[in-house]
A and B are shown apart, each in its own frame.
Chain A
Amino acid sequence: MIFQIILLIMLAYVVGFIYFGLYRNITARIQGRYGPTVYQSFYDSIKLFSKNNTVSYGWMFYLGPVIMATGAVLTLVLVPVFSDSDFLRSVTSQGNLFVLLYLMVLGPLGNALAVGTGGNPFGVMGVVRGLTRLIGLELPFYIAVVGLIIAANSSDIVHIIDVQKTAGLNIINHPLLFIGAMISMVGFFGASPFDIPGAPQEVYSGPRTEFSGKFLALLMSQGSLFAFAKLVLIVDLFLGGADSLVMLVLKTFTIFVAIIFIGIVYGRYKVEQAVDFLMKLPTLIAVLGLARIVWFG
């Protein structure tokens, strides 16, 4: 089990960073730049781990990124990665979808604590914007997840995957829920138009302003692990999971590219615009999908 966990973390680390590199590369090409190489994020991460950090603000500043990374790793190991194998099945069966929904916010809490300790008002401004955005952002995703749980009558992810083997993929059976969840995912990945918390060039780099050296490296690494976990979760919920590594990469990459392409063509919403938007159309779409399951399913 321990070996499998290490393997999974390494896989997520590599895949996550390559996807992040691709994200920077593709974005650059669309904007007519050459962009960094795909491996640039790797180099950055390794470089930052070996750099001195400029300042530290005491133990809570130190522990914040650690809490964040713990949340990401815990989320990662609780998401079933492969649909048919016993890979880490004994671990994933200990949790369920609700555990994951709430574990996903444990990491941001660690971040928020560290940012608050750092004492930079711009960082806190970013955190507060992020939390405000979350009010709208979680809504379509929650509706989609609740719909799937009611449809499968179980909050166990493995069971939701198994149901899709006989009844067909959820993306086809419940397309409205998928659309709702994808719009939320765009925000969860910090892509436009919901990228207000980080808001580069606007609030002086947002929550990560005060982090440097190994803290920044840890934040970057956990970000790639977390991104991978979220992609696998979407694949599990809507695309019936993946039975091999090739399928896993293929499916997660498809979702990832879709998110990039949605994000890149939009400008940035203000936080109130984002919440207003998310509460209207995406919520309506997801609620329609949910109503179909509850009343006609």
Chain B
Amino acid sequence: MNSIFLLLNLLPILFLYQFGGALHVSLPLTSEFTLSLIQTPLGTFFAYLSLISFLLVTIAQKSKKLACNYYVLQFLLSMAMLAIVLAGDFITFFIGWEIMTWSSYFLISKSNSIDIKSLQKYILFSLASAFSLIAGIVIAYSFAHSFDFSVISNSFKDMPFNIKVALIVLFSLSFFTKAGVIGLHYWVVDTYSKAPNLFSSILSAVMSKMGIYGLFLVYGNIVGYQELKMMFGTILNGTDFGYVLAWIGVATSIIATFKAITQDEVKRLLAYSSIAQLGYIIAVIGFGTTYGVAGAMYHTLIHTIIKLLLFINVAAIVAQTGKNRFSQLGGLIYRTPVSFVMLLIGIIGLAGMPPLGGFASKFMMYNAAIDTKFALILIGMLFSGAASFLYCYKLVYGIYLGHPTSKNLETTKEVPISYLIPQIILALLLVLAGTFPGAFIKIINPILVEFSLSTIPYSGLGVMNSAVGSFNGFFIMSAFVVFFVLILLLITRIKSKAKNNLNRFDISYCGEVPTQDTSLHFGFGFGTDLYRIKFVNAILKRSSSSFYESLATQTKKTSELFSRMYYGNIHNTMIIILLFFSTLFFIGVN
């Protein structure tokens, strides 16, 4: 079953490759509506991103005995995403969006740990996103008389100002919900953490990126960055609009980072980290400059790679040990060494340290902020980056380092090879992205032309150019490897008679000897300091759930009020119905 769907997932990639950017299909339904697929550079980028992610996740699913309908739904989901990114009009886009919503809903519901409340949260927020989207589409249609992206884009300039703003807000809200901007992220954490373990990687790495694609589509193609600048005016060297958006992104990033550090469940940490990383993308997406777009695009790519890697890694560990909390894991490094190295590469990328790919994308975004002189935005991003080291370390320590917290962790075996293959591919990609960051300039330049922005100069595979400085990824990587090998040789030449410590309790412990019952794993101790820092405590003790719960209570009370009107007394109901229709009648007559 797995191999059939593996081949099936390979087909669209070959298909897309075969067309080479020239795909243009249109299917006229009536004289007014035409469904069309057009391959733009932007769409192609996202199409490859999602298709390859699905392929890798399908490889990892080989070791799980999944039912046929699971694969069918997953394939449907990947095709829906393909429809979204290749759509040439809003009808196709919306059809893809809706299929994506319900097919992912059924996939999430297949998890063992899912509860009805999380599912309701997911579907409600997805519906809200879809309603906001369709409201925008209808308004756009009423002015442009077409669903076609290019027609709407051409007539956008002639729309009244408040309609323009309404359109931008409606579309943004819809895509923000998908990407999980803070405030609208209420569904994200529960869904990511309770979905089937391997499917969480799709949710975080690919489906959230559909929100990012939507934002690019609206800001870059339909509205156009030049138009955004003209509509809202400029501040410093960027647009007012970009500045507001950047604050939303930075706030998302900072809040989610601190929330991530204090989580005990591994997948909840990854979910919050995903929100935080998308916050970076949203922070730079509205700048409307070459480097803003390039930074957002590069981070989209890198975040997809990293989150796939980390979620597959965690899924493998959970499948192997049956534990999903930091306080229940630990000490797996010498039991599952390959997994450990993969996770290590993932977190180095996530923390954005050179010489891996994570640095190149962060560098691009930071330069975008300097280019527009948005200094406080940049400080916010750097601050959130510094805080993210803590959850990166928690991830690697809580699972692999320290002491095992239970007996069966001491006999765990390395995870199955099918989990490792996609991880190794992704880790290699991450290393390559860090070594040859210049290769990305070749991918991004056609997209920049599509947005009518100036392109980035290309000077070799290893060199990443930007507005205020460049660096040579190839040089840094090779210098790192050379120094590492030299120091390693030097230190191994020095003879010493140290024996490997066979007994894990043989540590310096204030003169005492720890026993089996001594709690030696520090996994649960992470983040407790944070509660005592006033600023961070103010963030941690607030939660969006209270807002949404009170909203739910209010809605319930209001609907109770209405239901009392209907079911209390038949005479009252009749009078209300009569009044309603007579009001309608009078409005109609006048």
A interface with B by C-beta (< 8 Å): 49-58, 60, 62-63, 65-67, 69-70, 73-74, 77, 91, 94-99, 101-103, 105-106, 109, 112-113, 116-122, 124-125, 127-129, 131-132, 134-136, 138-139, 142-143, 146-147, 149-150, 153-156, 204, 209-210, 213-214, 218, 270-272, 275-276, 279, 287, 290, 293-294
Instruction: Give Cα A109–Cα B344 distance, bound, in whole angstroms.
Output: 10
Are the C-beta atoms of A124 and B367 separated by less than 8 Å? no
Instruction: Return the contact of B469 from the options A124, A132, A154 (Cβ within 8 A).
Output: A154
Q: Cβ of B496: which chain A residues have Cβ within 8 Å of it?
A: 51-53, 213-214
Instruction: Give Cα A98–Cα B366 distance, bound, in whole angstroms.
Output: 9
Instruction: Give Cα A220–Cα B389 distance, bound, in whole angstroms.
Output: 23
Number of interface residues of B (CB under 8 A): 74
List the 9 closest A-B pairs by CB distance, nearest first.
Answer: A116-B401, A155-B469, A272-B532, A94-B472, A94-B475, A96-B469, A124-B522, A138-B386, A56-B498
Are the C-beta atoms of B472 and A210 separated by less than 8 Å? no
B116 within 8 Å of A by Cβ? no
Are the C-beta atoms of A147 and B382 separated by less than 8 Å? no
Instruction: Return the contact of B351 from the options A77, A109, A270 (Cβ within 8 A).
Output: A109
Nearest-CB distance from A83 to chain B (Å)? 18
Are the C-beta atoms of A74 and B390 separated by less than 8 Å? no
Instruction: Give Cα A154–Cα B390 distance, bound, in whole angstroms.
Output: 30
B334 within 8 Å of A by Cβ? yes
Instruction: Give Cα A155–Cα B469 distance, bound, in whole angstroms.
Output: 5
Are the C-beta atoms of A74 and B476 separated by less than 8 Å? yes
Are the C-beta atoms of A49 and B532 separated by less than 8 Å? no
Encode B451-484 as 1/0 by CB contact (under 8 A) with A.
0000000000000000011111001100110011
Given A55-B499, A121-B520, A149-B370, is A134 in contact with B525 using a C-beta cutoff of 8 Å?
no
Instruction: Give Cα A134–Cα B392 distance, bound, in whole angstroms.
Output: 14
Nearest-CB distance from A115 to chain B (Å)? 8
Are the C-beta atoms of B351 and A105 separated by less than 8 Å? yes
Instruction: Give Cα A135–Cα B496 distance, bound, in whole angstroms.
Output: 38
Could you list some 17 contacts between A and B, CB below 8 A? Answer: A70-B484, A73-B487, A74-B483, A91-B475, A97-B469, A99-B359, A102-B354, A105-B351, A116-B397, A119-B401, A119-B507, A128-B522, A128-B525, A135-B536, A153-B468, A204-B510, A276-B534
Q: Cβ of A119: which chain B residues have Cβ within 8 Å of it?
A: 331, 401-403, 504, 507, 520
Q: Cβ of B351: which chain A residues have Cβ within 8 Å of it?
A: 105, 109
Besides A55-B501, A155-B367, A294-B375, 17 new A-B residue pairs in contact (Cβ under 8 A), listed by A number = A52-B496, A56-B499, A74-B479, A95-B472, A95-B475, A99-B354, A99-B476, A101-B382, A102-B353, A106-B353, A122-B509, A128-B526, A135-B383, A135-B536, A149-B468, A150-B370, A210-B508
Instruction: Give Cα A80–Cα B510 distance, bound, in whole angstroms.
Output: 44
Are the C-beta atoms of B479 and A276 separated by less than 8 Å? no
Q: Cβ of A142: which chain B residues have Cβ within 8 Å of it?
A: 379, 382-383, 386
Q: Cβ of A275: which chain B residues have Cβ within 8 Å of it?
A: 533, 535-536
Q: Cβ of B535: which chain A residues have Cβ within 8 Å of it?
A: 275-276, 279
Are the C-beta atoms of B501 and A125 separated by less than 8 Å? no
Are the C-beta atoms of B507 and A118 separated by less than 8 Å? yes
B333 within 8 Å of A by Cβ? yes
Instruction: Give Cα A104–Cα B211 distance, bound, in whole angstroms.
Output: 34
Are the C-beta atoms of A132 and B397 separated by less than 8 Å? no
Nearest-CB distance from A52 to chain B (Å)? 5
Instruction: Give Cα A9–Cα B504 distance, bound, in whole angstroms.
Output: 37
Are the C-beta atoms of A143 and B379 separated by less than 8 Å? yes
B352 within 8 Å of A by Cβ? yes
Instruction: Return the contact of B498 from the options A74, A150, A213 (Cβ within 8 A).
Output: A213
A interface: dominant SS: helix
Nearest-CB distance from A60 to chain B (Å)? 6
Residue of B nearest to A54 (CB): B498
Residue of A nearest to B510 (CB): A204
Residue of B nearest to A2 (CB): B482
Q: Cβ of B525: which chain A residues have Cβ within 8 Å of it?
A: 121, 124-125, 128
Contacts of B372-418 to chain A: CB distance below 8 A? 373, 375-376, 378-379, 382-383, 386-387, 389-390, 393, 396-397, 400-403
Are the C-beta atoms of A49 and B375 separated by less than 8 Å? no
Are the C-beta atoms of A272 and B529 separated by less than 8 Å? yes
Instruction: Give Cα A34–Cα B390 distance, bound, in whole angstroms.
Output: 40
Instruction: Give Cα A125–Cα B525 distance, bound, in whole angstroms.
Output: 8
Are the C-beta atoms of B334 and A58 separated by less than 8 Å? yes
Given A97-B469, A204-B510, A276-B535, is A67 in contact with B484 using a C-beta cutoff of 8 Å?
yes
Are the C-beta atoms of A125 and B522 separated by less than 8 Å? yes
B236 within 8 Å of A by Cβ? yes
Instruction: Give Cα A200–Cα B72 distance, bound, in whole angstroms.
Output: 60
B interface with A by C-beta (< 8 Å): 236, 331, 333-334, 340, 344, 348, 351-354, 359, 362-363, 366-367, 370, 373, 375-376, 378-379, 382-383, 386-387, 389-390, 393, 396-397, 400-403, 468-472, 475-476, 479-480, 483-484, 487-488, 491, 494, 496-501, 504, 506-510, 520-522, 525-526, 529-530, 532-536
Residue of B nearest to A271 (CB): B529
Instruction: Give Cα A16–Cα B340 distance, bound, in whole angstroms.
Output: 35
Q: Cβ of A293: which chain B residues have Cβ within 8 Å of it?
A: 375
Are the C-beta atoms of A70 and B375 separated by less than 8 Å? no
Residue of A nearest to B386 (CB): A138
Are the C-beta atoms of B375 and A56 separated by less than 8 Å? no
Are the C-beta atoms of A218 and B491 separated by less than 8 Å? yes
Instruction: Give Cα A123–Cα B488 distance, bound, in whole angstroms.
Output: 23
Are the C-beta atoms of B472 and A116 separated by less than 8 Å? no
Instruction: Return the contact of B530 from the options A49, A117, A132 (Cβ within 8 A).
Output: A132
Are the C-beta atoms of A147 and B530 separated by less than 8 Å? no
Q: Cβ of A136: which chain B residues have Cβ within 8 Å of it?
A: 533
Are the C-beta atoms of A138 and B375 separated by less than 8 Å? no
Instruction: Give Cα A74–Cα B535 distance, bound, in whole angstroms.
Output: 35
Of A135, A139, A271, which is in contact with the most chain B CB atoms at under 10 Å from its CB? Answer: A135
Instruction: Give Cα A218–Cα B491 distance, bound, in whole angstroms.
Output: 8
Given A74-B480, A105-B353, is A132 in contact with B499 using a C-beta cutoff of 8 Å?
no
Q: Cβ of A67: which chain B residues have Cβ within 8 Å of it?
A: 484
Instruction: Give Cα A272–Cα B484 distance, bound, in whole angstroms.
Output: 35
Nearest-CB distance from B456 to chain A (Å)? 16
Q: Cβ of B378: which chain A residues have Cβ within 8 Å of it?
A: 146
Are the C-beta atoms of A155 and B370 separated by less than 8 Å? yes
Instruction: Give Cα A96–Cα B520 distance, bound, in whole angstroms.
Output: 41
Instruction: Return the contact of A128 from the options B348, B390, B476, B479 (Cβ within 8 A).
Output: B390
Q: Cβ of A129: which chain B residues have Cβ within 8 Å of it?
A: 529
Q: Cβ of B508: which chain A residues have Cβ within 8 Å of it?
A: 120, 122, 204, 209-210
Are the C-beta atoms of A121 and B534 separated by less than 8 Å? no
Are the C-beta atoms of A57 and B469 separated by less than 8 Å? no
Q: Cβ of A146: which chain B residues have Cβ within 8 Å of it?
A: 370, 375, 378-379, 382
Given A98-B366, A119-B402, A128-B526, is A77 in contact with B386 using a C-beta cutoff of 8 Å?
no
